[in-house]
């Protein structure tokens, strides 16, 4: 007799509507997608003890000291390591347990993902309460990262099985949920922190607990909503496309996953994807502090140039002014780089006629507009 979580229990019967699977997949991805929105916690956590102003650690307290200190606040750069571990564990756990997922089925993987992701948030809540950063690293970084990896691949794997005729759409639906999770979770987290905040507490610990409970309910509902098709199933009226023998981009030979490590093309694609994701994740991981502290003072009730660049000048004197100047220069260089200089009938010509100089927009020698400085 198969268990409640076994793959045999979730094989769909005849007449099952495959469109019931995407909501289950989205339920999980919308929850774990909050990983993209964790930067909303960095500023409050950097003032967890000082509340209004951070209690800075002494010069003798480095990264390892901040793991265990209870006398000073964590630096934002230190908190970022928890975010880094999210995605390190996402990739490694997906690669390590991807084969197990295919054998065990998406329901069991979804339940394990819910336990790891939500349990990790609860462990992190204990770390926030006791001001022990190592618990946050263990909870959300390691355990939560494993849940993130399993929760990420199980919807994709399941949807592709149900939609072999619409693979791009199936993958897109799953990834859409991951991004949507941050879009929903970040404002929710901000509102919860505001409601739980007191003169002696920034409200992050309570927010972690509430969000963990909410996510657990939705992820378990998604996991138990999974179904897999029978072996050999295909959508009605659909026939697999014929093999493209003459397409040089499609190999006709079977390459086992254990041998893929020795293929140069695999590592080239891996490097491209690694650099692409690293750049995006690096910005997303600090999105909230950057918007609030550097570029968007108006978002937190401030106005004027000082609100946007004051934090930079406080960190490194003169840095805000340098960024402002280079931003305006960058606009001019970007506009002037569109098109190229050429010689037409012995005269200088330009394939894109507009130029930018000292705030003026020129069409050839004629001034046609004035653009105010960006900052």
| Residue 44 to residue 52: CA distance in whole angstroms | 9
Per residue in 40-97, pLDDT tens?
898 899 999 998 888 988 888 888 888 998 899 998 888 888 888 888 888 888 888 8
Token readout for 311 is 């934090």
CA dihedral of residues 35, 300, 312, 124 (deg, nearest 10): -30
Contacts of 242 (CB under 8 A, 6+ apart): none
How confident is the model at residue 361, as a pLDDT?
Answer: 61
Per residue in 239-281, pLDDT tens?
877 765 566 666 666 777 677 778 888 888 888 888 877 777 7
> Please, where are the H alpha helices in 6-105?
21-32, 42-45, 63-66, 76-104
Per-run averaged pLDDT (10 residues), the chain, 375 residues: 77 87 91 89 90 88 88 88 85 86 90 95 95 93 92 88 85 81 89 93 95 96 92 82 65 71 82 79 71 53 49 46 46 46 45 55 61 45
How confident is the model at residue 119, as a pLDDT?
Answer: 96
The CATH architecture assigned to 7-232+273-295 reads: Up-down Bundle (1.20)
| Residue 36 to residue 188: CA distance in whole angstroms | 13
CA dihedral of residues 32, 37, 43, 44 (deg, nearest 10): -50
Domain ranges of the chain: 7-232+273-295, 297-370
């Amino acid at each position: 007799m198969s268990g409640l979580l076994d793959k045999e229990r979730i094989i769909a019967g005849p007449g099952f509507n495959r469109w019931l699977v995407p909501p289950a997949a989205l339920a999980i991805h919308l929850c774990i997608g909050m990983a993209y929105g964790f930067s909303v916690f960095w500023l409050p956590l950097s003032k967890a003890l000082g509340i209004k102003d951070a209690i800075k650690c002494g010069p003798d307290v480095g990264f390892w000291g901040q793991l265990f200190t209870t006398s000073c606040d964590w630096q934002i750069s230190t908190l970022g390591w928890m975010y880094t571990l999210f995605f390190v564990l996402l990739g490694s756990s997906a690669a390590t347990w991807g084969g197990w997922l295919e054998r065990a089925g998406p329901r069991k993987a979804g339940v394990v993902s819910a336990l790891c992701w939500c349990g990790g948030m609860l462990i992190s809540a204990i770390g926030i309460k006791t001001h022990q950063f190592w618990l946050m690293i263990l909870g959300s970084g390691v355990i939560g990262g494993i849940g993130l990896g399993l929760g990420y691949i199980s919807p994709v794997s399941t949807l592709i099985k149900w939609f072999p005729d619409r693979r791009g759409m199936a993958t897109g639906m799953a990834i859409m949920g991951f991004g949507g999770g941050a879009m929903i979770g970040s404002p929710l987290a901000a509102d919860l922190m505001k409601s739980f905040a007191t003169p002696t507490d920034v409200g992050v610990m309570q927010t972690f607990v509430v969000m963990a409970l909410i996510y657990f309910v939705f992820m378990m509902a998604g996991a138990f909503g999974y179904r897999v098709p029978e072996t050999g199933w295909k959508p009605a009226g659909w026939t697999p496309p014929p093999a493209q023998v003459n397409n040089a981009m499609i190999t006709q030979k079977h390459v086992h996953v254990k041998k893929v490590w020795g293929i140069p093309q695999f590592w080239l694609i891996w490097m491209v994807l690694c650099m692409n994701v690293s750049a995006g994740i690096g910005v997303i991981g600090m999105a909230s502090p950057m918007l609030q502290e550097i570029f968007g003072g108006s978002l937190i009730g401030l106005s004027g140039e000082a609100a946007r660049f004051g934090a930079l000048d406080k960190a490194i004197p003169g840095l805000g002014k340098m960024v402002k100047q280079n931003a305006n220069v960058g606009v001019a260089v970007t506009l002037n780089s569109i098109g190229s200089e050429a010689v037409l009938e012995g005269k200088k010509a330009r394939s894109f006629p507009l130029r930018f100089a000292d705030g003026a927009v020129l069409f050839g020698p004629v001034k046609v507009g004035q653009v105010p400085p960006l900052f």
